[in-house]
Amino acid sequence: MHVDIYTDGSARGNPDGPGGYGTVIHFQDSQGNLHKREYSGGYKKTTNNRMELMAAIVGLEALTKSCTVDLYSDSKYLVDAFNQRWIDGWLKKGWKRSGNEPVKNVDLWKRLLKAMEPHVVRYIWVKGHDGHPENERCDFLATSAADGDNLLDDEVLC
């Protein structure tokens, strides 16, 4: 099955403010009917990059069987990690970047890699705030979650 996942993350007062993620999933069933699912969540204190990663994680973890996935994001941080193969270097170096600096958000990168395992995922960059309907919807979900009540603790940052 082919699935399109659209994602966005947001943080108010990045890096120490509230943040949220938004994810929209589109897929067609065997009769050709389009289905759409939306996910969002907010955190008390987080970063934009962590929310970008969470949006992708939530989308992939929502899939119940192996899929071919086109994952759309306006985050170069997320998309370039795979398309520029940064992740391969980080893994080879034991989660170190150039200059032997530790990779940030290792907990979420590991969770994302695990969520990707049963799927074939292609990362596609879209320009943010440029009128792309699904990206705009994800932005709305992410910012609404960041501004909402019942925010969760980001265990790494709290």
φ and ψ of 42, to 5 deg: -130, 155
127's CB contacts (< 8 A; 6+ apart) are 74
| Per-residue pLDDT tens over the stretch 56-109 | 999 999 999 999 999 999 999 999 999 999 999 999 999 999 888 999 999 999
| Per-residue pLDDT tens over the stretch 11-49 | 998 888 999 999 999 999 999 999 999 999 999 999 999
- Known binding-site residue numbers for Mg(2+): 8, 52, 74, 139
Q: What is the pLDDT at residue 20?
A: 97
Question: DSSP assignment, residue 117?
Answer: T
Q: 120 has which bridge partners? A: 68
Task: Write out the catalytic residue numbers.
Answer: 8-9, 52, 74, 129, 139
**How crowded is residue 153: how many other Cβ atoms within 10 Å of its Cβ?**
11
80's CB contacts (< 8 A; 6+ apart) are 86, 125
**CATH homologous superfamily for 2-146?**
Ribonuclease H-like superfamily/Ribonuclease H (3.30.420.10)
pTM of the model: 0.95
- Known binding-site residue numbers: 8, 52, 74, 139
Q: What is the pLDDT at residue 81?
A: 98
**How crowded is residue 98: how many other Cβ atoms within 10 Å of its Cβ?**
8
Residue 158 pLDDT greater than 60, yes or no: no
What's the rounded Cα separation, in Å, for the pair 14 and 114? 27
In the numeric block, which tokens belong to residue 115? 């969520």
User: Strands 34-43 and 19-28: what pairing?
Assistant: antiparallel
What's the rounded Cα separation, in Å, for the pair 137 and 10? 13
